[in-house]
Structure formats: C-alpha cells, structure tokens
C-alpha cells in the first residue's frame, strides 16, 4: 500500500477574535507522528455555513489535482456546517481516493474502521440524492395534476393563419431556421408545427 505523503491540514474559526492555534498544534503533532508532509489551509473569521471559503476552495482544488493524499481537520464541523456539504466533500474525497481524518470524531479513513465510516457516508449521500430525486419527481407530478404548465413559456403565440402560413412555407421548402428567425421563435417550435401539418 502506498504510504500517505501529503496532508492538507484545514483550520477554521468563525470569528476574527478566535484563534486556530489550538487546532494547528494538535493537527501538526498528529500528521508529524504519522510521518506525513503537510500544507496548512487556514480560514479565519469564516462561517462554516458558507459554501465557498477561499482556503477551503484552494484545498479542494489541490485535492482534485491529486496534490493532497489526506484531508485532515480538527473536527467535522470545522469542515462543514451542514450534512449536505459534509457529504458532498466526503463523497468527492472518496471518489478521488483521498482519505479524510477528523481528529475529534476519531474518523480516519486510512484505517479499516475509518474506511467503513466513509462507506456509510457515501451510502448516506447516495440515499440523500435518491430522496431528492424522488421529491422533485413527486412535486412535478403534483404540479401537472393541478394543471400547472411546466417548462419555459413559449416565446410567442401563433394564430391559425400564422400556423397555416408556416406550414405552407415549409411545404414549399423554406428552411426551419429562416422561419424561426422570421417568426421570432425557436426551430423546435417550427419543426413541431411542420410535423403536425400532415
């Protein structure tokens, strides 16, 4: 098994008056004991609820570029404030083969028990995606049943004379594109009108 060599150590505190020093001491001692090189990514005065935090974005970019083998945090709430955000980051790490260590929760995917935790997190993420898909489908079906028209509204409405004229011009060989431009609509709508002419 390839020895882990580079750890991305992520530190975050919510306000500028707080310090990340305690996190840093514990995490750097930990990665040093493991014999890993490390790079520190520090967010100061950043709420965990924010999806985008510059040092976290930089760390995730390095994860995607395979510059980091292990993402190390003091606690999972330092990394993410919502389950959705945590699952998204954990799933991305898992798919890229990057391990995740959360010191305070004893989550360490470089070890067998930690890999099991990652599998559970992955299963929960998949379950959440399926539940979301089911809720969206149910909502769309309910909207259809209630007579709500879905999708973008038509660019314009055509009276029966315009429809007849479009069909006549198509029959005479006028291109769908030129008719769409002339009538201020999409090529798809002109095609559908043309198909219905028979």
Tens of pLDDT, residue by residue over 128-184, are 778 888 988 888 888 888 888 777 776 788 888 988 999 999 999 999 999 989 888
Asked whether residue 12 carries a pLDDT value surpassing 70, the answer given is yes
Domain extents in the chain: 6-128, 160-195
Instruction: Give the whole-angstrom CA distance, residue 64 versus residue 61.
Output: 5
- For 157, residues 6+ apart whose C-beta sits below 8 A from its C-beta are none
Residues 49-74: what's their mean pLDDT?
83
Which tops the pLDDT comparison, 137 or 43? 137
| Res 17: pLDDT | 44
Tens of pLDDT, residue by residue over 187-197, are 888 888 877 65
Tens of pLDDT, residue by residue over 108-138, are 888 888 778 767 776 776 787 788 889 888 8
List 14, 58, 191, 194, catalytic entry: 14
Instruction: Give the whole-angstrom CA distance, residue 56 versus residue 184.
Output: 46
Its pTM stands at 0.56
Any idea which residue has 């995607």 for tokens?
Answer: 64
Instruction: Give the whole-angstrom CA distance, residue 180 versus residue 191.
Output: 9
| Res 76: pLDDT | 80
Asked whether residue 47 carries a pLDDT value surpassing 60, the answer given is no
Asked whether residue 52 carries a pLDDT value surpassing 70, the answer given is no
| Res 177: pLDDT | 92
Between 28-37, 44-53, 113-122, the lowest mean confidence (pLDDT) is in: 44-53
| Res 187: pLDDT | 87
SS3 of residue 120 by DSSP = helix
Asked whether residue 68 carries a pLDDT value surpassing 80, the answer given is yes
Identify whether 191 is a catalytic site residue.
no
Q: What is the dotted CATH code of the domain comprising 6-128? A: 3.40.50.1390
Asked whether residue 3 carries a pLDDT value surpassing 80, the answer given is no
SS3 of residue 184 by DSSP = coil
- Residues 98 and 71: beta-carbon distance below 8 Å: yes
**Closest Cα partner for 79 from 108, 43, 106?**
43
């Amino acid at each position: 098994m390839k020895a882990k060599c580079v750890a991305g150590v992520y530190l975050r505190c919510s306000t500028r008056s707080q310090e990340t020093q305690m996190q840093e001491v514990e995490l750097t001692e930990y990665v040093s004991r493991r014999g890993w090189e490390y790079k520190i990514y520090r967010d100061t005065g950043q709420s965990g609820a924010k999806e985008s935090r510059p040092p976290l974005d930089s760390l995730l970019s390095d994860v995607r570029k395979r510059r980091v083998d292990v993402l190390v945090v003091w606690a999972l709430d330092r990394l993410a404030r919502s389950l959705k955000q945590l699952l998204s980051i954990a799933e991305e790490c898992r798919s890229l083969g990057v391990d995740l260590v959360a010191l305070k929760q004893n989550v360490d995917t470089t070890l067998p028990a930690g890999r099991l935790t990652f599998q559970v997190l992955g299963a929960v993420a998949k379950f959440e995606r399926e539940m979301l898909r089911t809720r969206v489908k149910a909502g769309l079906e309910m909207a259809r049943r209630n007579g709500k028209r879905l999708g973008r509204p038509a660019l314009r409405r055509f009276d029966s004379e315009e429809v007849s004229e479009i069909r006549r011009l198509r029959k005479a060989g006028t291109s769908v594109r030129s008719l769409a431009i002339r009538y201020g609509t999409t090529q798809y709508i002109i095609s559908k009108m043309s198909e219905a002419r028979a």
